[in-house]
Amino acid sequence: MSWTRMQMAERLVREFQDGWVVNLGVGMPTMIADVPMGDRDIIFHAENGVIGYGAVCAPGTEDLNLVNAGGQNVVLNPGASIVHHADSFALIRGGRMDVTVMGAYEVAANGDFANWKLKGAKGGGIGGAMDLAASAQRVFIMLEHRTRDGASRLLPRCSLPITAAGVVTLVVTDLGLFAPLGEGFALRDLAPGVTLEEVRAATACPIIA
Amino acid sequence: MARNKTYPDFDAAVADIPDGAVIAIGGFAGPGTPYNLIAALARRGAKRLTCIANTTGGAHKPRMPDIGMLVENGQVAKVICSFTAATRASDVLPFTKYYESGEVEAEIVPQGTLAERLRAAGAGIPAFYTPTAVGTELAEGRETREINGRRYLLEYALPVDFAFIRAARADSTGNLRFHRSQRNFNPLMAMAAKTTIVEVEEDILPAGAIDADDVHTMGLVVHRLIRVPPPPMGLWTRKREVAR
């Protein structure tokens, strides 16, 4: 047993606090917008200047001039606002994101992570990731614990070019919830049916339970 | 009476773009992208261009006019973008082949830094320090400085010859309004450019029809307006509206 991607999203959402401004990266983190927030008032910020967006539109109801960072047509919640890119990133650099949630290829025990360039690639895709990673109050990472070949994505140090140094707060994988501690990761939660031994065997650095 | 900035067609609006021009192209994931102006620039055929945009274009069908098309046309020397590969590693951009072979140069810039470099150019600020990209390979060999205990990277303004943008509404003096996330980079590119060319979705209004309080980008930095031909079905779709 382990967490599905939706369960990973739900586990991270449990960490959100009432009133937070949340930025969601493309890929896996977009699922977070579909998780019920309960009583908490959460404001979603998209890097393209949309503040206060909600669910993905039902087919046929889209405004094609309104997208989130992943290019999905979304609705605006009451109280939403729209600004240009410089203001949107001023909010980011100005420290007004309580958390940014991003996917990654690798995350390291020293709090570095890598999500913009693959090994040997000439090009890459940074988007807003470096701005968000450098300046959000918290950086949450969502990723599969292992690559398709079974190698650990949780490492002592990143092997790929990093997106930002020493910024990661929390990491959710299909196996559990972790916090970088310098030389290893603290285990904060285990997915149901997963043992500590299994996590340790799947991870290329110490897990501190 | 203010000058009417309306142009008859897209080709006329880009007819003076010379070889070697620096062109900023607005838009983010569709909204605000000046597809008709990009198509006109492809017809115009100006070469050795530097193109500034968030991405080099999409990997998906139907193919829309994008920087990738200008690259395939042999018109582009350099791109300055926040993506030089697709978001999904499995997608291959038309641009990639030319970049990897060295035919086209690319400068990858974090998106917020790209926006701020354009803003700085429009605001008369030559350079600024930002925390973004500190400690990454983008900062290698470049000037950083510690201010109040935090390390920052020096970034330079990005001035532009021509901005291509798209707006929902304009008056004849060039005052613009954008609809929803159509705004994105567009106001910044207009400010950063010597000449701003705008494709407009609605009929161009007489001066004064947009209240001064409601202007998103002032006509002062807008030079040419072209009405996007109405879609035949009355429905906004990306595919139908591209003028041929």
**Shortest CB distance from B28 goes to which of A48, A121, A164?**
A48
- Of all residues in chain A, the one with the smallest CA distance to B112 is A89
Q: Which residues of chain A are within 8 Å of residue B111 when distances are taken between CB atoms?
A: 47, 85, 89, 126-128, 131
Taking an 8 Å cut-off on Cβ atoms, the answer to whether A85 and B28 are in contact is yes
User: In this complex, which of B96, B131, B132 lies closest to A123 when CB atoms are compared?
Assistant: B96
Q: How confident is the model at residue B243 (pLDDT cuts 50, 70, 90)?
A: very low
**Chain B residues whose beta carbon lies within 8 Å of the beta carbon of residue A108:** none
B135 to A89: CB separation less than 8 angstroms, yes or no: no
Instruction: Give me the torsion for CA of A64, B119, B164, B242, rounded to 10°.
Output: -10
> Annotated active-site positions of A, please?
47
Q: B54: alpha, beta or left, given left = phi > 0 and alpha = psi -120 to 50?
A: alpha
Q: Residue B1 has what pLDDT?
A: 56
Q: Taking CB atoms and an 8 Å cut-off, how many pairs form between chains A and B?
A: 150
Q: Do A66 and B180 touch (CB under 8 A)?
A: yes
Sole residue written with tokens 């994101």:
A97
Q: Check residue A183 and give its pLDDT.
A: 94
Helices (H) and strands (E) in chain B — how many of each?
Answer: 6, 12
8 Å CB contact between B225 and B5: yes
Place of tokens 């641009």: B95
Q: Helix H segments across chain A?
A: 5-13, 85-93, 129-135, 196-202
Q: Is the pLDDT of residue B242 over 50?
A: no
Query: What is the average pLDDT score of chain B?
Result: 91
pLDDT tens for residues B149-160? 999 999 999 999
Taking an 8 Å cut-off on Cβ atoms, the answer to whether B108 and A66 are in contact is no
Average pLDDT score, chain A? 96
Closest CA–CA distance from residue B190 to any residue of chain A (Å) = 12
How far does the CA of residue B106 sit from the closest CA of chain A (Å)? 8
pLDDT digits (tens, 9 = 90+) for B17-76: 999 999 999 999 999 999 999 999 999 999 999 999 999 987 766 778 999 999 999 999
| ipTM, interface predicted TM-score of the complex | 0.97
Indicate the SS3 state at residue A30.
Answer: helix
What is the pLDDT, as a whole number, of residue B231? Answer: 66
Cβ neighbours of A164 in B, within 8 Å: 134-136
Q: What is the pTM of this model?
A: 0.96
Nearest to A127 among B82, B116, B118 (CB): B82
Kindly identify which residue of chain A lies nearest to residue B107, measuring between CA atoms.
Answer: A123
CA A185 to chain centre: 17
Q: Tell me what pLDDT residue A191 has.
A: 98
pLDDT tens for B82-94 read 999 877 767 778 8
Mean pLDDT, rounded, for B185-200: 98
Inter-chain contact B29–A125, Cβ cutoff 8 Å? no
- Of the pLDDT bands very low, low, confident and very high (cuts 50, 70, 90), residue B2 is low
Residue B232 confidence (pLDDT) above 70? no
